[in-house]
């Protein structure tokens, strides 16, 4: 947030009160920047990517003065309408002198309104990213603050402050680019948890695993072979999905070297989760139900399809312990923000999840009972 309406180092009265109104909502986490800073440049990482802080709010210079002038104009209009109403209602009861004074007062009000007050009031500028899923919620909340500020702080019903919503310049990505990481994450997770679980239980039912148990193949090699197979399959299908995006939707946020590695590790992790479920579920129908019961809540709580900021705080806390959340956030930071270093923490957590679930798969798979 940048307040340019400052006099001698202090915020003007109305700009200060407006900022207090934003803080009182408890919705915004305001980080104030200097008056002379280039806020748009601070939000832009380079010509094509943006920093994690994707939203900016600018209170322009002259905010207080323009808002006060607009208030005067609006209040003058109210007085003028009131005088007109009095003239229409009680005109017959007034003598000529009273009627002349009323008419003169209305004319003076109209002249003063035209000469002294501008047609346009103050405005604030909201800088948003077109792909920001929470942008409508941010605009709506900001609109509520403006309406409350107009009605309570200034005592007028018509808005004296406007919101000028602008997209940050310099980015070449479309909405489909921002959804692509979510689609990739959800697809790989679904393929790993639901697909692998069903495949393993089907092997149990048709007796394939009993025959494998009689061979020199070890349990660990069989588990790793299945994870590798499903990882390659998931990677190839993901590549096909990206290719379709490139051909039909002109996707620009296609994965680079770091994203490819991240996708492979994610596929390993979710295939390992499928191996864990397949290790102790024997019925194919039960396996499908268990896989769906885990995959779909994770899909909707991870932020892959809509912003976590729209969810209650306790759901956001739950989301942050799910592997899909870290997988999706890592892809966002690599593919959209162009910041592989910021995805390192998510990469480490995904690797931890992979080790944990591969170990659990080894423990849950009883080779001798297959």
Tokens of 150: 């107009």
User: Do 205 and 88 fall within a single domain?
Assistant: no
Neighbouring residues of 104: CB distance < 8 A, sequence distance ≥ 6: none
Percent of the chain past pLDDT 90, that is, above it, reads: 10
Tell me the two tokens of residue 16: 């200060």
Q: 217 and 104, same structural domain?
A: no
Same domain, 150 and 241: no
Is residue 162 located within the same domain as residue 208? no
The pLDDT tens digits for 47-63 are 444 444 468 899 988 88
Give the count of domains, the chain.
2
Number of other CB atoms surrounding residue 98 within 10 Å: 13
Question: Which of 45-49, 127-131, 170-174, 342-346 has the weakest average pLDDT?
Answer: 45-49
Least confident of 5-14, 53-62, 167-176, 345-354: 167-176
Q: Are residues 257 and 153 in the same domain?
A: no
Identify the H or E element spanning 57: strand 56-59
Same domain membership, residue 106 and residue 128? yes
Whether residue 253 is found in the same domain as residue 354: yes
DSSP for 302-364 reads TTSSS-GGGS-HHHHHHHTTSHHHHHHHHHIIIIIS--GGGGHHHHHHHHHHHHHHHHHHHHH
**pLDDT on residue 138:** 81
In whole angstroms, give the CA distance from residue 288 to residue 193.
9
CB-based contact 337:51 (threshold 8 Å): yes
Give yes or no for residue 143 having a pLDDT over 90: no
Q: Which of 229, 175, 177, 174 is nearest to 200 (CA)?
A: 229
324-337: average pLDDT = 87
Q: The domain containing residue 205 runs over which residues?
A: 175-369
Q: Is the same domain home to 152 and 221?
A: no
Same domain, 11 and 154: yes
Q: Indicate if the pLDDT at residue 9 is higher than 50.
A: yes
pTM of the model: 0.60
Per-residue pLDDT, 102? 58
Give the domain-ending residue among 144, 167, 190.
167
Do 321 and 246 lie in one domain? The reply is yes
SS3 readout for 124-190: EEEEECCCCCCHHHHHHHHHHHHHHHHHHHCCCCCCCEEEEEEECCCCCCCHHHHHHHHHHHHHHHH
139, 167, 195 — which closes off a domain? 167
Same-domain status, 284 and 191:
yes
Q: Is the pLDDT of residue 74 over 70?
A: no
Q: For residue 114, name the pLDDT band (cuts at 50, 70, 90).
A: low
What is the per-residue pLDDT for 281?
80
Final residue in a domain of this structure, among 130, 146, 167: 167
Region at 207 (left for phi over 0; alpha for psi -120 to 50; beta for the rest): left
Q: What's the pLDDT score for residue 199?
A: 83
Q: Could you give the C-alpha distances from 310 to 148, 252, 314, in angstroms and in order?
A: 22, 27, 12
Q: How many CA atoms lie within 13 A of 201 on its CB side?
A: 22
- Which is nearest to 208 in space by CA: 181, 220, 226, 191? 226
Q: Tell me the per-residue pLDDT of 12-40, one tens digit each, with 9 for 90 and over.
A: 888 888 888 888 877 788 888 888 888 77
At residue 352, the pLDDT reads 94
Residue 118 sits at the vertex; the CA angle it makes with 113 and 119, to the nearest 5 degrees, is 95
Edge-to-edge strand list for the sheet holding 2-3: 2-3, 56-59, 122-128, 161-167
Q: Let me know whether 340 and 218 are in one domain.
A: yes
């Amino acid at each position: 947030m940048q307040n340019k309406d400052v006099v001698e180092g202090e915020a003007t009265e109305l700009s200060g009160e407006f900022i207090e109104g934003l803080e009182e909502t408890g919705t915004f986490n305001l980080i104030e920047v200097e008056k002379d800073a280039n806020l748009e440049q601070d939000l832009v990482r380079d010509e094509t990517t943006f920093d994690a802080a994707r939203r900016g709010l600018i209170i322009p210079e002259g905010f207080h003065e323009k808002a006060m002038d607009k208030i005067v104009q609006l209040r003058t209009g109210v007085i003028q309408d009131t005088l007109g109403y009095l003239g229409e209602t009680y005109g017959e009861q007034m003598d000529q002198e009273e009627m002349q004074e009323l008419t003169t007062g209305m004319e003076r009000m109209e002249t003063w309104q035209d000469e002294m007050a501008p047609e346009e009031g103050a405005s604030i500028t909201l800088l948003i990213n077109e792909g920001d899923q929470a942008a409508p919620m941010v605009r709506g909340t900001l609109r509520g603050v403006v309406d409350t500020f107009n009605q309570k702080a200034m005592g007028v019903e018509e808005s004296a402050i406007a919101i000028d919503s602008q997209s940050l310049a310099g980015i070449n990505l479309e909405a489909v680019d921002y959804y692509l990481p979510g689609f990739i994450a959800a697809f790989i997770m679904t393929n790993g948890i639901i697909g692998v679980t069903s495949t393993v239980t089907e092997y149990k039912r048709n007796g394939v695993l009993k025959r494998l148990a009689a061979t020199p193949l070890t349990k660990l090699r069989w588990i790793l072979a299945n994870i590798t197979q499903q990882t390659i399959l998931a990677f190839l299908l993901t590549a096909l999905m990206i290719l379709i995006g490139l051909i039909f939707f002109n996707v620009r946020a296609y994965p680079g070297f770091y994203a490819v590695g991240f996708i492979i590790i994610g596929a390993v992790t979710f295939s390992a989760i499928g191996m864990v479920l397949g290790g102790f579920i024997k019925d194919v129908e039960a396996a499908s139900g268990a896989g769906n019961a885990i995959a779909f809540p994770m899909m909707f709580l991870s932020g892959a399809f809509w912003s976590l900021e729209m969810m209650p705080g306790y759901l956001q806390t739950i989301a942050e312990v799910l592997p899909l959340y870290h997988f999706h956030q890592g892809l966002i930071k690599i593919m959209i923000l162009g910041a592989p270093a910021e995805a390192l923490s998510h990469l480490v957590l995904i690797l931890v999840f992979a080790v944990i679930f591969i170990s659990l798969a080894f423990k849950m798979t009883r080779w001798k009972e297959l």
